[in-house]
């Protein structure tokens, strides 16, 4: 089959300039390729958040956008949503999905950022790879209309994969985009997308992402606990939610225990100066971090939890070293390893 090379068939001046939301996945790639085929310049935006949407993260809602961009010759800009995304996770206007996911607010935020960027670079419209009816929460027609309106993009948001099932947009009406060359895909089947991928020679695209960490039950439980007990949440607090086992010792203290060497290294990387660090030296031991207010009782409970995960967990006591915050001081606690049945009451899972 002849592969269509979208950007190589028409050397003339681009007809228009679009800003595309690009996760690196199949649908958003196809949306871009359908426009490049019409000689429309595309600048792609790939969003990152503190909740698993980054390029290296295997749990990510996105994936590396660069191979496709390089192959087909369009620009990619990475944009981290940072504090803005944390704010909508704390207070979503449109509620949550099954877990802590805030998909409607998230789409509105990403589209609003894309609109601002479009205005800044004088582009003509915004493009997404959304398909009607593909995802129950975010891609039914009403939701598509709502997100478009809330993002201030009415008439200027083109979804090339479902375009023929939607009202014509301004770029179509203005003749910048030929509607006839767009698609009428709906539902969960990916048959047509796979046909298009073959036509375009698009290979090695990732399987559809299930979403960010906010769709994960365990992560959501840890996040809910953090938000309920912490007034001011730091990025390190959020990063630590992805690491180790978490135990709520009391309303103002929790301990995080590494499960493997990678966790231990990350716990050290995310440790803040006011955190107590715990480790049983000279035996097989995870790293632990006590977060929150530390007194004798919480330190001794934290040491008992850590002792349970050392190689000496069957000994009557384990010597746990506590590295104190904001100083080089350390002291030891002889801690009996916590019993599994007791841990069941405090583990956040
Ligand atoms: S799963 Fe929902 S909240 Fe998470 S990135 Fe996707 S749309 Fe946004």
Q: pLDDT tens digits, residue range 49-89?
A: 999 766 655 545 667 899 999 999 999 999 999 999 999 99
Helices (H), 47-97: 66-72, 82-90
* Gap from CA of 294 to ligand 1 centroid (Å): 35
Indicate the average pLDDT of the chain.
92
Could you report the per-residue pLDDT of 248-267, keeping only the tens digit for each?
999 999 999 999 999 999 99
* Gap from CA of 98 to ligand 1 centroid (Å): 12
Domain boundaries, the chain: 17-200, 216-346
Side-by-side strand order, sheet with 75-80: 75-80, 41-48, 17-21, 125-127, 157-158
* Closest C-alpha to ligand 1, atom 4: 212
Whose structure tokens read 């493997």? 260
* Closest C-alpha to ligand 1, atom 7: 103
* Gap from CA of 261 to ligand 1 centroid (Å): 29
* Gap from CA of 304 to ligand 1 centroid (Å): 37
Q: Specify whether the CB–CB gap between 276 and 325 falls below 8 A.
A: yes
Pocket test for ligand 1, best of 50, 104, 108, 211 (most atoms within 8 A of CB): 211
In CATH terms, the fold of domain 17-200 is Rossmann fold (3.40.50)
Distance CA 287, CA 22 (A): 38
pLDDT, residue 142, reads 84
Identify the residue with better confidence: 197 or 7: 197
Backbone angles phi, psi at 245, to 5 degrees: -100, 145
Least confident of 72-86, 88-102, 104-118, 123-137: 123-137
* Closest C-alpha to ligand 1, atom 3: 103
This prediction's pTM? 0.88
Distance CA 8, CA 201 (A): 13
Single out the residue of 18, 23, 17, 41 nearest to residue 207, CA to CA. Answer: 23
Number of other residues whose CB lies within 10 A of the CB of residue 168: 15
H-run or E-run covering 265: helix 261-270
Collapsing DSSP states into helix, strand and coil, what is residue 126?
strand
| Ligand 1 lining (C-beta closer than 6 Å) | 53, 61, 101-103, 106-107, 138, 211-212, 214-215
Task: Name the pLDDT band for 239 (thresholds 50, 70, 90).
Answer: very high
pLDDT, residue 200, reads 96
Single out the residue of 328, 322, 293, 329 nearest to residue 307, CA to CA. Answer: 322
Distance CA 123, CA 130 (A): 20
Distance CA 248, CA 344 (A): 11
Pocket test for ligand 1, best of 24, 54, 61 (most atoms within 8 A of CB): 61
Ligand 1 atom closest to Cα of residue 213 = 4
DSSP secondary structure letters along 31-43 = HHHHHHTTT-EEE
Mean pLDDT of 327-339: 96
* Gap from CA of 193 to ligand 1 centroid (Å): 21
The yes-or-no verdict on residue 322 having pLDDT over 70 is yes
* Gap from CA of 110 to ligand 1 centroid (Å): 10
Task: Name the pLDDT band for 138 (thresholds 50, 70, 90).
Answer: low
Beta strands 125-127; 157-158: pairing state: parallel
Backbone angles phi, psi at 180, to 5 degrees: -65, -25
The yes-or-no verdict on residue 6 having pLDDT over 70 is no
pLDDT, residue 9, reads 47
């Amino acid at each position: 089959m002849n592969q269509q090379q979208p950007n190589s068939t028409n050397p003339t001046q681009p007809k228009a300039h679009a800003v595309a939301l690009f996760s690196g996945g199949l649908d958003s790639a196809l949306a871009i390729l359908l426009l490049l085929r019409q000689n429309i310049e595309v600048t792609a935006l790939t969003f990152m958040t503190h909740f698993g949407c980054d390029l290296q993260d295997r749990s990510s809602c996105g994936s590396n956008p660069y191979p496709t961009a390089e192959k087909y010759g369009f620009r990619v800009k990475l944009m981290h949503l940072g504090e803005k995304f944390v704010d909508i996770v704390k207070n979503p206007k449109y509620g949550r999905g099954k877990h802590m996911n805030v998909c409607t607010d998230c789409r509105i935020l990403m589209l609003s950022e894309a609109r601002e960027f479009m205005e800044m670079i004088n582009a003509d419209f915004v493009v997404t790879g959304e398909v009607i009816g593909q995802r129950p929460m975010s891609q039914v027609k009403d939701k598509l209309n709502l997100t478009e309106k809330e993002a201030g993009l009415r008439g200027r948001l083109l979804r090339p994969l479902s375009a023929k099932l939607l009202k014509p947009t301004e770029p179509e009406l203005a003749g910048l985009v030929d509607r006839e060359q767009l698609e009428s895909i709906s539902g969960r089947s990916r048959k047509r997308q796979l046909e298009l991928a073959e036509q375009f020679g698009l290979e090695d695209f990732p399987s559809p992402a299930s979403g960010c960490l906010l769709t994960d039950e365990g992560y959501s439980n840890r996040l809910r606990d953090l938000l309920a007990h912490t007034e001011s949440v730091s990025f390190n607090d959020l990063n630590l939610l992805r690491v180790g086992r978490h135990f709520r010792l009391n309303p103002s203290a929790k301990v995080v225990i590494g499960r493997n060497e990678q966790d231990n290294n990350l716990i050290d990387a995310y440790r803040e100066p006011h955190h107590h660090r715990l480790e049983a030296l000279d035996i097989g031991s995870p790293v632990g971090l006590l977060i929150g207010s530390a007194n004798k009782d919480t330190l001794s409970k934290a040491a008992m939890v850590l002792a349970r995960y050392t190689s000496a967990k069957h000994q009557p006591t384990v010597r746990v070293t506590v590295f104190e915050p904001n100083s080089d001081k350390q002291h030891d606690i002889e801690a009996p390893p916590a019993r599994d049945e007791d841990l069941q009451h405090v583990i956040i899972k």
